[in-house]
Chains A and B, each alone.
Chain A
Amino acid sequence: MAILRNKLRRFSAARYGGLAGFIVLAACLGYGQTPNSCLDCHSALPDPLGVSQEKFSQDVHAQKGLTCASCHGGDPTSDDPDKAMSRKAGWKGRIDRRQIPQLCGSCHSDPAYIRQFNPSLRTDQLDQYRTSVHGKRFAAGDTKVAVCTDCHSVHDLRAPSDPRSTVNPVNVANTCARCHSDAGYMKGYSIPTDQFAKYSASVHHEALAARGDLSAPTCTTCHGNHGAAPPGVDRVQNVCSNCHAFQAQMYEKSSHKKAFEAASLPGCVVCHSNHAISHPTDAYLGTGPHAVCMRCHTPGDKCDQARAGLQSGLNRLDEAIKGADQVLGVGESSGMEVSEARLGQDQARESLTKARVTIHSFRTDLVDQEIQPGLKIAAKNLKAGKEAMVERNYRRVGLGISLIAIGIVVAGLWLYIKKIESLDQQEHSS
Chain B
Amino acid sequence: MPTNSQGIANAGDPLSSPIPRRRFAEVLLGSGFLATAVAFLYPVLRYLVPPKAPDLGSDAVVAGRVGELKPNSGKIFRFGNRPGLLIRTASGEYRAMSATCTHLSCTVQYRDDLRQVWCACHNGKYDLNGRNISGPPPRPLEDFEVQVRGDEILARRRRET
> A–B direct touch, CB within 8 Å, in complex?
yes
| Residues of A that sit less than 8 Å from B by CB | 213-215, 243, 245-246, 339-340, 342-343, 346-347, 350, 353-354, 401-402, 404-406, 408-413, 415-416, 418-419, 426-427, 430
Cβ of B65 within 8 Å of any chain A Cβ, yes or no, is no
Pick the residue among B36, B40, B123 that contacts A245 (CB under 8 A). Answer: B123
Max chain B CB contacts within 10 Å: which of A401, A408, A430? A408
Pick the residue among A246, A339, A419 that contacts B25 (CB under 8 A). Answer: A419
Residues of chain B contacted by A408 (CB below 8 angstroms): 28, 31-32, 35-36
With A409-B32, A411-B32, A416-B29 as given contacts, are A402 and B122 in contact (CB-CB < 8 Å)?
no
Q: Is the CB of A419 within 8 A of B22?
A: yes
Q: Which 9 A-B pairs have the closest CB atoms?
A: A412-B29, A409-B32, A405-B35, A408-B32, A412-B28, A415-B25, A402-B39, A215-B136, A416-B25
Q: Bound complex: CA of A410 vs CA of B29, how far in Å? A: 8
Q: Bound complex: CA of A408 vs CA of B35, how far in Å? A: 9
Q: Is the CB of B22 within 8 A of A426?
A: no
Residues of chain A contacted by B40 (CB below 8 angstroms): 402
Q: Bound complex: CA of A339 vs CA of B81, how far in Å? A: 7
Residues of chain B contacted by A419 (CB below 8 angstroms): 21-22, 25
Residues of chain B contacted by A404 (CB below 8 angstroms): 35
The residue on B at minimum CB distance from A246 is: B123
With A246-B123, A415-B24, A430-B11 as given contacts, are A405 and B36 in contact (CB-CB < 8 Å)?
yes
Interface range on chain B: under 10, 10 to 19, 20 to 34, or 35 or more? 20 to 34
CB distance from B43 to the nearest CB of A (A): 8
Q: Bound complex: CA of A343 vs CA of B82, how far in Å? A: 7
The residue on A at minimum CB distance from B36 is: A405
CB distance from B62 to the nearest CB of A (A): 15
Q: Is the CB of A354 within 8 A of B120?
A: yes
Cβ of B83 within 8 Å of any chain A Cβ, yes or no, is yes
Q: Is the CB of B106 within 8 A of A353?
A: yes
Q: Is the CB of A353 within 8 A of B121?
A: yes
Q: Is the CB of B36 within 8 A of A411?
A: no
Q: Is the CB of A343 within 8 A of B83?
A: yes
Q: Is the CB of A340 within 8 A of B28?
A: no
Q: Is the CB of B107 within 8 A of A347?
A: yes
Residues of chain B contacted by A412 (CB below 8 angstroms): 25-26, 28-33
The residue on B at minimum CB distance from A430 is: B11
Cβ of B78 within 8 Å of any chain A Cβ, yes or no, is yes
Q: Bound complex: CA of A342 vs CA of B81, how far in Å? A: 9
Contact indicator per residue, chain B 65-85, by CB within 8 Å of chain A (1) or not (0): 000000000000010011100
CB distance from B15 to the nearest CB of A (A): 15
Residues of chain A contacted by B81 (CB below 8 angstroms): 339, 342-343
Residues of chain B contacted by A339 (CB below 8 angstroms): 81
Q: Bound complex: CA of A405 vs CA of B34, how far in Å? A: 9
CB distance from A410 to the nearest CB of B (A): 8
The residue on B at minimum CB distance from A405 is: B35
The residue on A at minimum CB distance from B25 is: A415
Q: Is the CB of B28 within 8 A of A415?
A: yes
Cβ of B92 within 8 Å of any chain A Cβ, yes or no, is no
Residues of chain B contacted by A418 (CB below 8 angstroms): 25
Q: Bound complex: CA of A7 vs CA of B6, how far in Å? A: 144
Q: Bound complex: CA of A213 vs CA of B120, how far in Å? A: 19
Residues of chain B contacted by A430 (CB below 8 angstroms): 11
